[in-house]
Amino acid sequence: MDKQNYNFMALQGFDISDEDYVDEFGVPPEYAYTPQLNYWMIDHVFERDVKAFQDSGMTHREAQKMANSQRDSKRAEVKELMAKKGLLS
């Protein structure tokens, strides 16, 4: 039986496995083949974005607000893709 890939790219139809995300992005292996993989990635990017926004001159509060907006948007996009694939319980 094939494992269900939940990574964002696979949900869009690309031939990329959750194992690739583990290897490439450092996702904890226990999140492979679970919806949590995307949420881990989104939170990981959020932390990186906060730092990048601060480095570009934003205050910590401004950086968090901007990164949070992007995180919320990406979470909604993932949820929509999973719904289209019938992967929401």
Condensed to tens digits (0 to 9), the pLDDT of residues 39-67 reads 999 999 999 999 999 999 999 999 999 99
Give the CA count within 13 Å in the CB-facing half-sphere of 35. Answer: 13
How many Å apart are CA 23 and CA 5, to the nearest integer? 14
Tell me the whole-structure pTM to 2 decimals: 0.88
Question: Does residue 21 contact residue 27 with C-beta atoms inside 8 Å?
Answer: yes
Listed residue (37, 35, 42) closest to 70, CA to CA: 42
